[in-house]
Amino acid sequence: MRHRACAALIENGRILMVRLTTETQSFWTLPGGGLNTDETFEQAVVREVEEEVHLNVRVIRPLYTKIDSSGKEVCFLVERIDTTVPFLGQDPERPLDQQVLSGMDWHPLAEMKEDIQVSEVLAALNKTPSLLL
């Protein structure tokens, strides 16, 4: 069991997502990944965003928590702390010839509302409308 953290970075009505592509599937997801030993969820989400999209972010607040057989996932609303432009990174736990990150893009929230993670993000934000950026 490995717990995960993911990030919702929303700017101008769009959410930043990464594309994961394996031999059997390809899909958009929020930047994030598993916690390292002795790492908090907050530390993990900041590290994962830096690894996957080369952005420095700070956590604003947790949005949702899901628990299943693979562990706990906590998604955080984050914001950039500098003017760095995002670009696709890589997973340091995978060899270069086995990378699964294949894309990065800003998606309009309205177009992604059926996505499992984005729907959870929107539900949490709708509870606090002032956070809809």
Instruction: Report the pLDDT value the prediction gives residue 55, as an integer from 0 to 100.
Output: 97
Residue 132's alpha-carbon distances to 10, 73, 105, 107, 126, in angstroms, are 8, 22, 19, 15, 8
Write down the pTM of the prediction: 0.91
Please say if the pLDDT value at position 121 is more than 90.
yes
Range of the domain at 33: 4-131
Q: In the structure encoding, which two tokens stand for residue 97, read together? A: 């010839």
The domain tally of the chain equals 1
Report the pLDDT averaged over residues 43-60.
97
Report the pLDDT averaged over residues 64-70.
93
Q: Which pLDDT band, with edges at 50, 70 and 90, does 130 fall under?
A: low
In this predicted model, what pLDDT tens digit does every residue of 87-103 receive, in sequence order?
A: 999 888 888 888 889 99
In this predicted model, what pLDDT tens digit does every residue of 71-83 receive, in sequence order?
A: 999 999 999 999 9
What's the CATH number where 39 sits? 3.90.79.10
Instruction: Report the pLDDT value the prediction gives residue 129, as an integer from 0 to 100.
Output: 57
